[in-house]
Amino acid sequence: MKLLRNLIFSAITVILAGLSGCQTGRVPPLPPDAVPPRVAVASFDNRSSFEGQWNLGAGMADLLVSELVDSRNFVVLERGSLDKVVDEISRQSNRLFRPEGRVDEGRLDNAHYLIRGVITDFTQSSGGSFWLGLRHLFIGSGGYTARVGLTLTIVDIESGRIVDSVQCAGKARAGDAFAKGDYKGIQFGGRSFFQTPLGIATASAIRQGLHGVVKKMPRITWMPMIAEVDGPRIVLNGGRERGLEAGVVYQVRGKGTPVTDPLTGDVLDIMPGPIIGTVRIMEMRDQVSVAELVSGHGIARGQTLERPLALTP
């Protein structure tokens, strides 16, 4: 009977731990007219009382990076090992390396936002009891409770301002059979780790953080623009994937004028530039389209396009 009770309790413990995880599911996809923000993730600052076998700062950052990439809501840029990327680019410019296949310099992406994390809690404590009834058979025990708390801060890199912050936490429980010694030999972020109370709590906190970042991250709305001018060919920054259509005529606006607050220097608004001409889309591709000049002059890269005027008959 005692053996049966232990077996049942062990199974129930696993179920309880799994049910205590985050149930938020996948984040919604970006709207069709949204531009994925370019983000970088800094190594987390560990302010919890944990001092053990894992580098929590780098580990938590890697977990968040994985979730951000998997969400398809962001362009995530490498920062933790960027020095290795830079070293490889510099190495390729050495004359000892063949020129074929050499990457171009000056093409590293710039991040618009930095996500900075702080680990506020990473503990597993013993004590307490929980009871579960199963067809009138009650099993009770003291156990372990794991808690993970995180604070994520979104920073606008251009201004250095804090855009918003996200508080997230995870919690999981296990029975007496689970001891702290069970973490020996377990790698942070590995499959075995996520089967432990601390792993389940970590996954829950990271998922909550992802949802919070998606909700609070500023969004940029895509707009048609002049990407390149190659003689009579005017290349636009969107094609079939952005819903552009051949034969449509757009107005072209010149560069706008920023309006800044004379007291703080903050950009309050951007006054639209003058309409300097019109273009008609002639050739469609998936990500770009090619237009011709209908009227006007001074068409240049970076100018914005207005809504279609009319479809040509």
pLDDT for 275 beyond 70: yes
**Do 207 and 280 reside in the same domain of the chain?**
no
What mean pLDDT value characterizes the chain? 85
pLDDT digits (tens, 9 = 90+) for 243-272: 999 999 999 999 889 999 999 888 889 999
Query: Could you count the other beta carbons within 10 Å of the beta carbon of residue 15?
Result: 10
Residues 178 and 101 in one domain: yes
**Count, residues in the chain:** 313
Q: Of 170, 201, 220, which closes a domain?
A: 220
Q: Which of 140-149, 217-226, 288-297, 300-309 has the lowest mean pLDDT?
A: 140-149
Do residue 112 and residue 170 come from a single domain?
yes
pLDDT of residue 24: 59
Say which CATH number the domain at 258 has. 2.40.10.410
pLDDT of residue 14: 42
Residues 163 and 215 in one domain: yes
- Domain match, 128 and 187 both: yes
Output the pLDDT for position 2: 45
For residue 245, what are its two tokens? 């259509």
State the average pLDDT over residues 273-286.
Answer: 95
Specify whether 147 is located in the same domain as 161: yes
Question: Given 220, 236, 266, which residue is the final one in a domain?
Answer: 220
Within this chain, do residues 258 and 140 fall inside the same structural domain, yes or no?
no
Is the domain of 145 the same as that of 171?
yes
pLDDT at res. 185: 83
Q: Look at residues 110, 22, 112, 34 and name the one whose alpha carbon lies nearest to residue 67.
A: 22
Nearest to 19 by CA among 260, 201, 152, 192: 201
Residue after which a domain boundary falls, among 220, 245, 263: 220
Which structural domain, as residue segments, surrounds residue 303?
A: 223-311
pLDDT at 66: 96
Whole-model pTM: value is: 0.81
Same domain, 167 and 255: no
Q: What is the pLDDT of residues 117-150, one digit of tens each?
A: 999 999 988 755 444 433 333 334 457 889 999 9
Looking at the fold, whether 230 and 243 belong to one and the same domain comes out as yes
What's the pLDDT band for 21 if we cut at 50, 70, 90? very low
CATH code of the domain covering residue 64: 3.40.50.10610
Dist CA 201 CA 250 (whole Å) = 52
Residue 3 has pLDDT above 70, yes or no: no
Q: For residue 64, give the nearest of 122, 121, 146, 119 by alpha carbon.
A: 119
Judge whether residue 90 has pLDDT over 70.
Answer: yes
Number of domains, the chain? 2
- Judge if 206 and 237 occupy the same domain: no
Cα separation, 194 vs 136, in Å, equals 32
Other CB atoms within 10 Å distance of the CB of residue 238? 20
258 and 212 in a common domain: no
Question: Alpha-carbon distance 16 to 18, whole Å?
Answer: 5
Percent of the chain with pLDDT over 90: 60
